[in-house]
Structure 1
C-alpha cells in the first residue's frame, strides 16, 4: 500500500473511532451508556402518567374565561317550570375553554362544542317531558339538570359556577394526559412549559419502598383501600390490587394485551342496596367510601354531602365528593377525579380506560349508564340514568370481555313481585359501554 493511501485510511479509521466515542459504554457511568441516537429523551420519557400529575395552576387566561362564563350565568334570571326549561335552548348549560380543553357546567370535560352540548341536553329534556311511567333510580334527568341551576338566585349560581369551573381548571393537565395516553391526542408543544406539574420528577436515590399492605387488613380513614380476595379458580390469572403504585410513574403506551386476564378491587362484602328509589348516587358513594375507609356511613349522610334531592344526584357532585371524602384522588391512585365525556370514545378506548383505572390506579370508576333491559338483562323494567361502582374486568378468554361493578339498584326492594338483583355484578363490558354512551350526558367519573 502506498504511503498516501495508508494515510487516508488511517485518517478514516480515526474519524470513525471519534464518531463512535459517545456511544461506547462506560461501566457505571449512566450518561455514557449505549443508547439510541439523539441526545435528548423523548417527551413521553419526561411525562408523569395522568394520575400522578399535581394540580394545575389557573393561568390568567383560564381565570378570564371562568369570569366570562360566570358573568353569563349572572345575567340569567330564575326560570319557571321544568316544562318551560325543556322547551328552552338550554342556555343554562355553559362551557369554558380552559387551556385547549372544554369544560361544560354539569356535564364535564367534552370534545363537543357548546352548541352541541346545549342541543343534546335540550333534546333529552324534551324527550323526558314526553316520557311517562319510567322508573327513576336516582340520577338527574335533563329537566332536573336544567332546573337545579335555573332555580338558583344569580348570586348563588355564580358562586356554584365559579367553584365548579375553578376546581375543573386545576385538573386540566390530567385531562390532556388521559386523552394523550388513551386516545393518542397530541400534546401542545408548550405543554411541559405550561404544566410543570406534569414533568416527571427525578427518582430519589435513598427513598425506601413503601410496604405493601396485606389484602386482609382493614384500613382506617387514612389508610389504603380494601381489596377483594381473588377466587381460587382465577388466582393464577388475577392481578392483586394491593401493591402501592410508584410515586411518579411515567407514561407507558399500554394496550389491552398488556393487562392481566382478570383484576378486581374492593371487598364484595362492603356493598349495600339503595334504600330510596332516588338514592343510587348516595349508595354508590357509600360503597366507594366504604372501600377506602373500611367503614360505612349512612346513605342519608352521603345524600346530604352530595346535595341529593328527590330528583336525584348530579354527576359532577359525585366526582366532587369522591375527591373530598376519600384518598382515591391521591397521586398514587387515580389522581384528582374528573367528569369526562366519553361520547366520542371507541369501545376499545373506553375499555382501556377501565383497565387502567382498576389495574394501574387501583381505584374505582363512577359509572353513569342508563338502565335499560337491553343492556342489563336482570332488569324487569327499563329505568332512568343511574350510578354504579366500576371495580374490575375479566378478558374472559375467547368470550366477550366482562366488566365488574357494584349495582346499588334492587328493584325487588320497591316491588316484591320483581326479581332480586345482586350487588356484585360481572356483565358484558360492551353492553356497559353502550349503556354509558346511551345516557344523554355519556360521562364517567375517573
Structure 2
C-alpha cells in the first residue's frame, strides 16, 4: 500500500511539472513585439540558446519606445504630401485616384480633415502642386490648410464708414473644399484629374518660376535705360517679333546645347533670347463688365476669350463652362478653360495656377513683364478687392478676378481690366469698371490678401 501511494504521488508530481513550461509559454504570445513559434525545449536547456534570450530583452524596450514615436510622426509634418514624385502622367492618375477619399470618409470628416483631403498635394517631377492652391514653393502644413478655410484675416478695418466684404465672385477656399467634398468620388476624381492635367503639362513653367525666385529675381534688361510711356493711355501695339520666340524655349534649349558644343554655339544661342520692352499693353478695347455680382470669373474670361478670337460669347455661357455658382468661380476652372478654349497657351505655354505667397513685389512685377511684354498673353489676377489697394472703389469687396493686360516699368504699374462696376450693384458706389493702372506692389499685396494667394498665367 505504501508503494502504491508513493507511486500515485510521483505520478501527480510529474503531471504538475509537465504543465509548468506550458503555462510559462502561454504568456509569451501576448507580447506585442514577440514573433516566432513557442519553444518546445525543456526549461533547463532553453535559457542558453539565442531565440529565448532575444525575445525577453527586445519586448521590454521596443514596446515602450515604438508607440511613443509613431503617433507624433504622423500628425506633426505636413499631412497633404506623402506621395513619391510622379514621373509620368499615369503615375499622377494613380496617385490622385488612390488618395481621393471615399464618400463615407468625406461625410464623416470635420472641416479641417476635409481641407487636408480636398487640398492634398503631389510632387510632379521636381515641382509641388496642391489641389486648389496651385504650384507652391513650400508645402502647406495642416494648420495652414485649416486657416485657409477660415475667412481672410486682412480687412480694411481702419477705413471708417466703409462697407465690408460685398461679394464679387471668386470661390473661397472654404467653398472650394465644400464643393469638392459634396461630389461623389467618381465626379470628384474627374475634377481633380482635370486640374492635375494642366499642372502636369505646365510643370516646366512652374520650375522656371521657382528658379526665378530662387535666383533672387534679377531686374529685367538691366543694361537698358528705362523709357517713359504714358500709363493712362494703354497702347495696343506691341512688337510682334517676340511672340514667335517666347515659348519658354530659350531657357530650356540652352542647357542641352551647351554640353555638346561647349564654346562656339553656347554663346550664340542664349545671347539675345528675348528683350522685354519697357512698357506693353495688350487687348485694347476688349474690356467687359460683369453682369451679376458673382460673375467676375465669367466676365474676366469673356474678356480674355474675346481678345483671343474676336468672338464675344455671353457671360452666361462662360458661367456654365466655368461651373460658376452663387458662391463664385474656382481659379482652377479659369485656367482649365483658358487652356481648352483659347490660343493664349500657344505663345505663353500651358496656363497654370501659381501660388505667390513666397514671392516678393519685384518677382511679381518681373513675371508680369515677361508674360505681358514677351508672351503677349494676359494674366488672370486673383485679388481681394479692397479699397486700400484699389482707391477707385467706394467700398470693400471679397475675392475677385481681373484681367492683367499691361505694365509700365518706369512708373512701376500693372494695367488691368476691372470687370466690377460698383454703381451697377450699389447706387452709392463709384463707376469702377474699365482700364486701370495699379502700382505693382499694390496689386501684389491685394493678391496676398486673398486666401488663395495665387494667380493664373
Q: Please report the TM-score for the alignment, with normalisation by the length of structure 1.
A: 0.68
Q: How many residues align?
A: 334
Counterparts in 2 of 1:225-240, with a 5 A limit? 240=238
Question: 1:233: how far off?
Answer: 9.7
In structure 2, relative to structure 1, the CA distance for the partners of 1:243 and 1:253 (3 Å cut) is closer
Contact (CA 8 Å) 2:152, 2:451: kept in 1 or not?
Answer: no
Question: 1:239: how far off?
Answer: 6.8
Of 377, 387, 391, which residue of structure 1 is paired with 2:401? Answer: 387
Contact (CA 8 Å) 1:74, 1:157: kept in 2 or not?
Answer: no
Counterparts in 2 of 1:9-408, with a 5 A limit? 63-75=90-102, 77=104, 79=106, 85=111, 90-113=116-139, 115-116=140-141, 118-127=142-151, 134-181=165-212, 183-184=214-215, 240-243=238-241, 245-247=243-245, 249-251=249-251, 259-267=276-284, 269-330=285-346, 333-396=347-410, 400-408=411-419
Contact (CA 8 Å) 1:107, 1:441: kept in 2 or not?
Answer: yes
The secondary structure found in structure 2 opposite 1:174 is helix
Contact (CA 8 Å) 1:78, 1:152: kept in 2 or not?
Answer: no
The secondary structure found in structure 1 opposite 2:455 is strand
Distance 1:442 1:374 in 2: 17
Distance 1:120 1:253 in 2: 43
Distance 2:345 2:434 in 1: 24
Question: 1:95: how far off?
Answer: 0.8
- Give every structure 1 segment of 4 or more consecutive aligned residues whose post-TM-superposition deviation is greater than 6 Å: 230-235, 253-256
In structure 2, relative to structure 1, the CA distance for the partners of 1:68 and 1:288 (3 Å cut) is same
Question: 1:348: how far off?
Answer: 1.1
Match of 2:220 in 1: none
Contact (CA 8 Å) 2:86, 2:124: kept in 1 or not?
Answer: no
Question: 1:280: how far off?
Answer: 0.4
Structure having the higher Rg: 2
Unaligned 5+ segments in structure 2 are 1-84, 156-162, 217-228, 252-269
Contact (CA 8 Å) 1:106, 1:316: kept in 2 or not?
Answer: yes
Distance 1:443 1:128 in 2: 14
Contact (CA 8 Å) 2:103, 2:184: kept in 1 or not?
Answer: no
The secondary structure found in structure 2 opposite 1:119 is helix
Contact (CA 8 Å) 1:93, 1:106: kept in 2 or not?
Answer: yes
Distance 1:177 1:414 in 2: 41
More helix per residue: 1 or 2?
A: 2
Contact (CA 8 Å) 2:114, 2:177: kept in 1 or not?
Answer: no
C-alpha RMSD of the superposition: 3.3
In structure 2, relative to structure 1, the CA distance for the partners of 1:87 and 1:160 (3 Å cut) is closer
Question: 1:346: how far off?
Answer: 1.6
Question: 1:294: how far off?
Answer: 1.1
1:427 partnered with 2:454: no
Q: Please report the TM-score for the alignment, with normalisation by the length of structure 2.
A: 0.66
